């Protein structure tokens, strides 16, 4: 037993530590419950009374020595780190920290929201998982409408799905507030569509709603013209085309002109030179009544635009998938736009 104690003491004496990890290695080797010092105490229990009387004092001295050694090693490492800090030359050039950047979708969405806020629109948000009433029924979707089919909608369970548009937020706003209402609803939406250069299974929308007495289609067109002028510039070409949406009547789609000078533009616009950026129309009277608003007293317009489409036009992105690839070479181009 005495020889074992001497061997452990020699190991403790010769142990050197220059880093915190090495100090921790010392503690794990000698001082923990299953360390070399405590192992000797387990052996001590097996000795006779006479042997215990001879070895007890030496073993306690070893334990105290090990604790003192640990304290000295720890203090030595701390003192060395302090000395290193004091010797730092702060006049030397600092390390370059890579600059991050906002995502182009975030940049564009923020600019769009700011324009509508200047027009007097406030912001309304809602859940991405919606029930049938807010996502479809209140918006005048018949029970047999194709948009209810699994081919277009991600259903979670019966009558519960990922929202296909932020119009569901507008329904909640109309149910909870009396006109006049002037709000936009930015957010992510989901549709079970084939992924291509023009479309994705999830994307971002900003939908607008204005309800008051005497609101007309002319008010809608003027609002959207003003948005395009402030966002793209006064010379941007736009056009309205008649369309159909269950929740608006009459309905239209608005396009901006890209041209067909390049193969990418030709493919993206299907050879027309025009890219659709939003759908709009006058809120259907059934939608107003479903939400508890008197359609004989109030009228309103609604619109919904894709943030991705506008981002593509703004920055010359020809493939919508580029916006979701997380390619640093692409994202780093937007550092100066933060």
Q: How does pLDDT run across 53-70, given as a tens digit for each residue?
A: 777 778 778 788 788 888
Q: Do residues 149 and 274 share a domain?
A: yes
Can you give the CATH number for the domain in which 252 is found? 3.30.930.10
Q: Do residues 256 and 209 share a domain?
A: yes
| Band of pLDDT at residue 338, cut at 50, 70 and 90 | low
pLDDT tens figures, 102-140: 899 999 999 999 999 999 999 999 999 999 999 999 999
pLDDT reported for residue 87: 58
Check if the beta carbon of residue 302 is closer than 8 Å to that of residue 209: yes
pLDDT reported for residue 178: 93
pLDDT(79) > 80 = no
pLDDT reported for residue 209: 97
Q: Do residues 291 and 175 share a domain?
A: yes
pLDDT tens figures, 263-276: 777 776 788 888 78
Q: Which residue has the higher pLDDT, 303 or 145?
A: 303
Looking at the chain, the whole-number percentage of residues with pLDDT higher than 90 is: 42
pLDDT reported for residue 85: 56
pLDDT reported for residue 150: 57
Mean pLDDT over each residue of the chain, to the nearest integer: 86
DSSP-derived secondary structure letter, 309 = H
Q: Do residues 73 and 138 share a domain?
A: no
Q: What is the mean pLDDT of residues 312-324?
A: 85
Domain final position from 86, 112, 128? 86
Domain final position from 54, 86, 118? 86
91 lies in some domain: no
Q: Which residue has the higher pLDDT, 167 or 262?
A: 167
Q: Which residue has the higher pLDDT, 237 or 212?
A: 212
Could you give the CA distance from residue 237 to residue 33 in angstroms, rounded to a whole number?
A: 79
Q: What is the mean pLDDT of residues 277-283?
A: 93
Q: Do residues 157 and 234 share a domain?
A: yes
Considering its fold, how many domains does the chain have in total?
2
Contacts 24+ apart (CB under 8 A), 95-99: 99/335
Pull the structure tokens for residue 125: 């948000």
| Band of pLDDT at residue 336, cut at 50, 70 and 90 | low
Instruction: Dump strand ranges (E) for the chain.
Output: 122-123, 129-131, 155-157, 160-162, 181-190, 202-212, 238-245, 248-257, 274-283, 299-306
Phi first, then psi, for residue 101 (nearest 5°) are -150, 155
The whole domain housing 55 covers 2-86
Phi first, then psi, for residue 123 (nearest 5°) are -110, 135
15 lies in some domain: yes
Cβ partners under 8 Å of residue 281, min gap 6? 220, 243, 245, 247, 248, 249, 250, 251, 252, 301, 302, 303
Q: Which residue has the higher pLDDT, 257 or 282?
A: 282
pLDDT tens figures, 16-37: 887 888 888 888 887 787 788 8
Q: Do residues 163 and 292 share a domain?
A: yes
Check if the beta carbon of residue 222 is closer than 8 Å to that of residue 239: no
Cβ partners under 8 Å of residue 301, min gap 6? 209, 210, 215, 217, 219, 220, 223, 248, 280, 281, 282, 283
Strand partners, 304: 207, 279
94 lies in some domain: no
Q: Do residues 121 and 77 share a domain?
A: no
Q: Do residues 109 and 254 share a domain?
A: yes
């Amino acid at each position: 037993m005495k020889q074992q104690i001497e061997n452990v003491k020699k190991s403790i004496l010769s142990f050197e530590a220059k880093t915190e990890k090495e100090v921790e290695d010392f503690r794990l080797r000698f001082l923990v419950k299953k360390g070399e010092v405590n192992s000797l105490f387990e052996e001590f229990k097996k000795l006779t009374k006479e042997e215990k009387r001879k070895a007890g004092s030496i073993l306690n001295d070893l334990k105290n020595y090990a604790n003192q050694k640990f304290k000295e090693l720890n203090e030595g490492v701390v003192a060395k780190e302090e000395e290193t800090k004091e010797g730092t030359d702060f006049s030397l050039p600092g390390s370059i920290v890579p600059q991050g950047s906002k995502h182009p979708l975030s940049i564009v969405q923020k600019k769009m929201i700011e324009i509508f806020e200047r027009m007097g629109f406030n912001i309304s948000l809602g859940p991405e998982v919606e029930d049938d009433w807010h996502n479809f029924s209140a918006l005048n979707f018949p029970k047999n409408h194709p948009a209810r089919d699994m081919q277009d909608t991600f259903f979670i369970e019966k009558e519960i799905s990922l929202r296909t548009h932020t119009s569901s937020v507008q329904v909640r706003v109309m149910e909870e507030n009396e006109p006049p209402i002037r709000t936009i609803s930015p957010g992510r939406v989901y549709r079970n569509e084939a992924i291509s250069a023009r479309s994705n299974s999830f994307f971002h929308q900003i939908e607008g709603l204005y309800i008051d007495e005497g609101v007309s289609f002319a008010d809608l067109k003027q609002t959207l013209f003003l948005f395009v002028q402030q966002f793209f510039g006064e010379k941007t070409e736009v056009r309205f085309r008649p369309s159909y949406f269950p929740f608006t009547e009459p309905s239209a789609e608005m396009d901006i002109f890209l041209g067909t000078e390049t193969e990418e533009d030709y493919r993206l616009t299907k050879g027309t030179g025009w890219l659709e950026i939003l759908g709009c129309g006058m809120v259907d009277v059934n939608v107003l009544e479903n939400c508890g608003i008197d359609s004989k007293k109030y009228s309103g317009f609604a619109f919904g635009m894709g943030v991705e489409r506008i981002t593509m036009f703004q920055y010359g992105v020809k493939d919508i998938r580029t916006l979701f690839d997380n390619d640093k070479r692409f994202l780093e181009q937007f550092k100066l736009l933060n």
